[in-house]
Amino acid sequence: MSEIKINAVSESSYKLGEGPHWNEEDQTLIFVDIPNGSIHRYFLQTQRVQNAQIEDAGTGGTVSFIIPVEGAKDTFAIGLGTSLALIKWSSTEPDNQIKKATLLLSLDAKQAHKVRFNDAKNYGSWASEATHEKYLGSLYIIDSDSKISTLVTKVSISNGLAWSRDNKTLYYIDTPELRVDAFDYSFETGDINFKH
């Protein structure tokens, strides 16, 4: 059995490095540091780390995820509190900078001061919430027309969105529940049902 070796990708330290997303095409790893409200990109080929502080765009929220927007070069969707925003971020920009986000949509959350987006995948634009109070969050799917549909409610800290290789099962974690749930999933419609 081969030995697994783990190396730090940066000499910087992060308070809460979250939401890693590997981009196979350009061999980069993007992630956020939630308490610092920053995004980071690691370039495997050169070992370069690009950092950007995100202005909150008037949302009062910190950045909680970053995912590339399919078909839009250098464009990323980010979570800002209970809002979804877009940023342009090119690899040719300086390694340390401040970026301004363009607000795209906000959840109509009555508990907006108690919840925030936590995790997201661009596999049909999924986003989920985290809260310090049990069961105030939800799991959402956002369509190409920015329509938000709630799929799972009574969530505390959404994490770990993943799909089976055949796209028929969605795996999902609500961290305080200490379990992985599996849902039957339709790739064509985005519908989920029957939690295992």
Q: Confirm whether 147 is domain-assigned.
A: yes
Residue 87: both structure tokens together: 């940023």
Q: Does 16 have pLDDT greater than 80?
A: yes
Are residue 54 and residue 80 in the same domain, yes or no? yes
Q: Mark the binding-site residues, compressed into ranges.
A: 18, 116, 118, 129, 159
Is residue 41 located within the same domain as residue 115?
Answer: no
Assess whether 72 and 128 both reside in one domain: no
- For residue 89, what are the domain limits? 14-106
CATH code for the domain in which residue 53 is found: 2.40.10
Q: Among 60, 85, 106, where does a domain finish? A: 106
102 & 126 share domain = no
**3-class DSSP state of 175:** helix
SS3 34: coil
What does the longest C-alpha to C-alpha distance in the chain come to?
Answer: 52
Instruction: Judge if 61 and 121 occupy the same domain.
Output: no
Average pLDDT for residues 5-20, to the nearest whole number?
86
Strands (E), 100-179: 102-106, 115-121, 126-131, 137-142, 148-155, 158-163, 169-174
pLDDT band at 48 (very low <50, low <70, confident <90, very high): very high
What total number of domains does the chain contain?
Answer: 2
Q: Are residues 167 and 140 in the same domain?
A: yes
Name the token pair of 83. 């809002």
Q: Is pLDDT of 50 > 80?
A: yes
Q: Over the stretch 141-179, which tens digit does the pLDDT of each residue have?
A: 787 777 787 888 888 888 878 889 998 898 888 888 888
Rounded to an integer, the average pLDDT of 174-196 is 82
Residue 57, pLDDT score: 65
Q: Which residues are annotated as a binding site for substrate?
A: 116, 118, 129
Please say which residue of 106, 140, 165 terminates a domain.
106
Binding residue positions for a divalent metal cation? 18, 159
122 and 96 both lie in a single domain = no
Number of Cβ within a 10 Å radius of residue 4: 5
Shared-domain flag, residues 76 and 151: no
> What pTM was estimated for this model as a whole?
0.84
More confidently predicted of 14 and 127: 14
- The pLDDT, as a whole number, for residue 66 is 93
d(Cα 88, Cα 14) in Å, to the nearest integer?
23
- Asked whether residue 101 falls in the same domain as residue 126, the answer is no
Segment 34-57 mean pLDDT: 91
pLDDT of residue 88: 96
- Per the CB < 8 A criterion, the answer to whether 62 and 37 are in contact is yes
- Assess whether 100 and 19 both reside in one domain: yes
The sign one gets for the Cα dihedral 63, 66, 70, 72 is: positive
Whether residue 138 lies inside any domain: the answer is yes
Residue 58 has pLDDT above 80, yes or no: no
Has residue 1 been placed in a domain? no
Q: Check residue 33 and give its pLDDT.
A: 93
Tell me if 2 is assigned to some domain: no
135: left (phi over 0), alpha (psi -120 to 50) or beta: left
Q: Check whether residue 74 and residue 118 sit in a common domain.
A: no
**Spatial distance between the Cα atoms of 112 and 129, rounded to a whole number of angstroms:** 10
Among residues 54, 83, 106, the one where a domain terminates is 106
Range list of H helices, the chain: none
Do the domain assignments include residue 78? yes
Judge if 169 and 126 occupy the same domain: yes
CB crowding 161-180: b at 16 or more within 10 Å, else e: bebeeeeeebebbbeeeeee
**Which helix H or strand E contains 135, and what residues bound it?**
none
Q: Per-residue DSSP letters for 166-195?
A: TS-EEEEEEGGG-SEEEEEE-TTT--EEEE
